[in-house]
């Protein structure tokens, strides 16, 4: 059974740059999976950051960017701020109306 | 304002049934394919089900297949999730989510966009 992999946790200093990744336990992530990234804070629904690999959702600061790095999708935060401390989820479209989320990455800014 | 509002959550015993609803305001639900996504307490997001705009095709996660049924009433701008044979592991916040697709100059996009605030389902005796 294929699973979507994410780092469980990551830490970044204020003003620093961090890259979170989204991979597959079997195979490579490509643009065909339309990787999408969400930010979630406690008690709130997810907020769309980046969709379809590298398209920034409306109102999302340009310090958030998406890409394919090697065989994974990646979310890069440049110039991290305190309020970027959140859970980040990626989701892949697996085809035939099915989707698969990664386990999420808890980002700490300190 | 574009909004999705889920309702129908609550406490139900194992083996019981529950019907969730999702109502759209500020836009026409029939224009969108829709997903249900859930999140167990302290856990990550899990895709549950998908339905086409017309409601003629549905897909389900293996964890709910045969127990959950998604449907929609485009005339009422609403989406439903009928859940039966509920288990403790179905305890979660359930979100309805729009799916957006389209194309631009040399690119395609397809993603889950608008989320409701969720409704909580607790399966416990």
Our CA-based measurement puts residue B85 at a distance from the nearest CA of chain A, in whole angstroms, of 22
Candidates B79, B91, B67; CA nearest to B34 is B79
Give residue-wise pLDDT tens across range A9-29: 999 999 999 999 999 999 999
Question: What's the distance, Cα to Cα, between the start and end of chain A in Å?
Answer: 36
Angstroms from B39 CA to nearest CA on chain A: 10
CA-based nearest distance B51→chain A, Å: 8
CA-nearest of B75, B67, B70 to B59 is B70
* pLDDT one-digit tens code per residue, B21-43: 999 999 999 999 999 999 999 99
| Chain A contact present for B99, CB below 8 A | no
Residue A32 CB contacts under 8 Å (≥ 6 apart), including other chains: none
Q: What is the pLDDT of residue B105?
A: 85
Q: How far is CA B47 from CA A11, A58, A99, B92, in A?
A: 27, 23, 6, 12
Looking at chain B, which residue has its C-alpha nearest residue A95? B59
Residues B1-22 as b/e (b if ≥16 CB within 10 A, e otherwise) read eeebebebbeebeeeeebebbb
Q: What is the pLDDT of residues A40-76, one digit of tens each?
A: 999 999 999 999 999 999 999 999 999 999 999 999 9
Summarize pLDDT for A83-106 with one digit per residue, the tens: 999 999 999 999 999 999 999 999
Backbone angles phi, psi at A31, to 5 degrees: -65, -20
Separation between Cα atoms, residue B101 and residue A10, nearest integer Å: 31
The residues with which A109 forms a beta bridge, in sequence order, are: A12
Q: Please report, to the nearest 10 degrees, the dihedral formed by the alpha carbons of residues A75, A80, A83, A88 taken in order.
A: 20
Q: Is A45 on the interface with B (CB under 8 A)?
A: yes
Cβ–Cβ of A36/B52 closer than 8 Å?
no
**The two three-digit tokens of residue A85, written as one number:** 């401390």
The closest CB to that of A89, out of B44, B110, B111, belongs to: B44
Q: Which two tokens stand for residue A3?
A: 């699973």
Q: Which of B33, B110, B113 sits opposite A48 (nearest CB)?
A: B113
């Amino acid at each position: 059974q294929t699973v979507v992999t994410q780092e469980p946790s990551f830490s970044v200093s204020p003003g620093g740059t961090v890259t979170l990744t989204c991979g597959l336990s079997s195979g490579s992530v490509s643009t065909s999976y339309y990787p999408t990234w969400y930010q979630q804070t406690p008690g709130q629904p997810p907020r769309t950051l980046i969709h379809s690999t590298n398209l920034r959702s409306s109102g999302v600061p340009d310090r958030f960017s998406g890409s394919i790095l090697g065989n994974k999708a990646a979310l890069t935060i440049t110039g991290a701020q305190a309020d970027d401390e959140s859970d980040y989820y990626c989701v892949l479209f697996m085809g035939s109306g099915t989707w698969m989320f990664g386990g999420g990455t808890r980002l700490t800014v300190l | 304002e574009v909004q999705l509002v889920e309702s129908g959550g609550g406490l139900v015993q194992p083996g019981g049934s529950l019907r969730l609803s999702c109502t759209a305001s500020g836009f026409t639900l029939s224009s969108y394919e829709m997903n249900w996504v859930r999140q167990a307490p302290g856990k990550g997001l899990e895709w549950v089900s998908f339905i086409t705009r017309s409601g003629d095709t549905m897909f389900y996660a293996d964890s709910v297949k045969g127990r959950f049924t998604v449907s929609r009433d485009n005339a009422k701008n609403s989406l439903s999730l009928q859940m039966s044979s509920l288990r403790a592991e179905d305890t979660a916040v359930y979100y309805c989510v729009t799916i957006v697709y389209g194309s631009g100059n040399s690119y395609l996009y397809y993603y889950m966009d608008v989320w409701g605030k969720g409704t909580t389902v607790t399966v416990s005796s």
